[in-house]
Amino acid sequence: MSDTDLRRAAQFLSNARHVVVVSGAGISAESKIPTFRDAMTGLWASFDPQKLATPEAFDADPSTVTRWYDFRRMKCAEALPNPGHTALARLETLLNPHNGSVTILTQNVDGLHQRAGSRNVVELHGSIMTWRCTRTGREFHDLPAPFPDYPPKSPDGGLLRPAVVWFGEMLPPAALDAADKALRECDLFFSIGTSALVHPVAGFAGIASARNIPVIEINRDPTPLTPRADICLRGPSGELLPALLHAAFP
């Protein structure tokens, strides 16, 4: 990444009023939450997340699936927002007084954007802190950590499952509506810490580009979005986002 790229990105950001950010697991990596496609470590090294995050896996082995999600829920609860999350929350405080906005369309389920202070966060893949009864669909927050046994029993008589989107499940319609509105109104689009592989979210940058909205990727590694982005800042978002805000709003 060159200084020129950072300066160009800062120029776009200083002129923007309605920013959309798509974030993925990479923005939480510096908060010590494993990304989705990095190898699972320790206890879960032998499990393939792509196989555990499915309704079929839950039906076949609810104990293993809920134990894995509870392990991740605990890691998320222990984690702290990093300077990347904090920079996005600060951007919102800089734009709001000028009738600007920052809409974070996150694929993450860890709640760290909200804990960093961002107020306009759309959880496209749900939240690992919320669990849902398989019998009534009622959602529960503030649950015991860790669960006393697996699978956790629901007060409504069913089992409790994480209120996250599993492979093959639909994204929450309200979240998709909010994303659609933000994408139609934005004048700058960021893709941060995501491999840009999973649709429909991987298609959001194309919606912005089709409106001739500048697309900026901030990611540790190249992705399928890289060749189509207007600017690519390669590296850790926990360092690049603070540097970008400092350059845009000295």
Is residue 30 within the footprint of ligand OAD (CB under 6 A)?
yes
Q: Looking at 1-9, 62-70, 132-140, 188-196, which segment touches ligand OAD (CB under 6 A)?
A: 188-196
Q: Looking at 71-79, 114-122, 143-151, 235-243, which segment touches ligand OAD (CB under 6 A)?
A: 235-243
Phi, psi of 61, rounded to the nearest 5 degrees: -150, 70
For Cα atoms 105, 30, 163, give the angle at the middle one, nearest 5 degrees.
Answer: 45
Of 17 and 32, which CB lies nearer to ligand OAD in the complex structure?
32
Is residue 176 within the footprint of ligand OAD (CB under 6 A)?
no
Using the Cα atoms of residue 126, residue 129, residue 134 and residue 136 in order, give the sign of their dihedral: negative
Is residue 53 within the footprint of ligand OAD (CB under 6 A)?
yes
Please pick, from the candidates 151, 152, 193, 214, the single residue that binds ligand OAD as defined by CB under 6 A. 193
Least separation in angstroms between CB 108 and ligand OAD: 7
Please pick, from the candidates 125, 213, 231, 233, the single residue that binds ligand OAD as defined by CB under 6 A. 125
Annotated active-site residue in 85, 125, 199, 246 = 125
125 is catalytic: yes
Least separation in angstroms between CB 218 and ligand OAD: 6
Site string for ligand OAD, 54-83 (x = CB under 6 A): ------------------------------
Over the chain, what HEC string results?
A: CCHHHHHHHHHHHHHCCEEEEEECHHHHHHHCCCCCCCCCCHHHCCCCHHHHCCHHHHHHCHHHHHHHHHHHHHHHHHCCCCHHHHHHHHHHHHHHHHCCEEEEEECCCCCHHHHHCCCCEEECCEEEEEEEECCCCCEECCCCCCCCCCCCECCCCCEEEEEECCCCCCCCHHHHHHHHHHHHHCCEEEEECCCCCCCCHHHHHHHHHHCCCCEEEEECCCCCCHHHCCEEEECCHHHHHHHHHHHHCC
Least separation in angstroms between CB 170 and ligand OAD: 11
Of 22 and 188, which CB lies nearer to ligand OAD in the complex structure?
22
Is residue 37 within the footprint of ligand OAD (CB under 6 A)?
yes
Is residue 195 within the footprint of ligand OAD (CB under 6 A)?
yes
Binding stretches for ligand OAD (CB under 6 A): 24-26, 29-30, 35-37, 53, 107, 125, 165, 193-195, 197-198, 219-221, 223, 236-238
Task: Kindly list the catalytic residues.
Answer: 125
